[in-house]
C-alpha cells in the first residue's frame, strides 16, 4: 500500500486486499446471502455488488504495489531476451 492521509482511500485499499484474499465470488456470494436473509435491501445489494466489481477492476499497480510492479518489469525484461 502506498501512504495515504485519506480515510476513503485507506478503506478502498483494505477492501481491495480483502476481496483479493477471499476472492470476488466469495464476497459477492456473501452479499447475495445477506440479501436473501433480508439483512440488506435489493438496492443495497446492487450498490455493494457494483462497488465490489469496480474495485476489483483496479489493477494492483494503481494501488501502489511496488513489488508487483518490479516483478512485472523483470518478467518483461527476461521475456525480451
Answer whether residue 67 is part of any domain.
yes
User: For position 69, what pLDDT does the model report?
Assistant: 65
Gap between the terminal Cα atoms of the chain = 31
Cell reading at 27: 464476497
Answer whether residue 62 is part of any domain.
yes
Q: Please tell me the number of Cα atoms within 13 Å of 19 on its side-chain side.
A: 22
Answer whether residue 27 is part of any domain.
yes
Answer whether residue 1 is part of any domain.
no
Q: How many domains does the chain have?
A: 1
Q: What is the pLDDT of residues 31-46, one digit of tens each?
A: 999 999 999 999 999 9
Q: What pTM value is reported for the model?
A: 0.65
Q: Which domain holds residue 54?
A: 7-80
Q: Which residue has the higher pLDDT, 28 or 22?
A: 28
Amino acid at each position: 500500500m502506498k501512504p495515504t492521509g485519506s480515510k476513503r482511500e485507506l478503506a478502498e485499499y483494505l477492501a481491495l486486499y480483502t476481496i483479493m484474499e477471499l476472492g470476488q465470488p466469495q464476497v459477492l456470494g456473501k452479499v447475495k446471502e445477506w440479501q436473501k436473509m433480508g439483512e440488506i435491501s435489493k438496492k443495497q445489494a446492487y450498490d455493494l455488488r457494483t462497488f465490489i466489481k469496480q474495485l476489483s477492476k483496479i489493477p494492483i499497480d494503481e494501488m501502489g504495489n511496488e513489488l508487483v510492479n518490479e516483478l512485472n518489469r523483470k518478467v518483461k525484461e527476461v521475456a525480451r531476451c
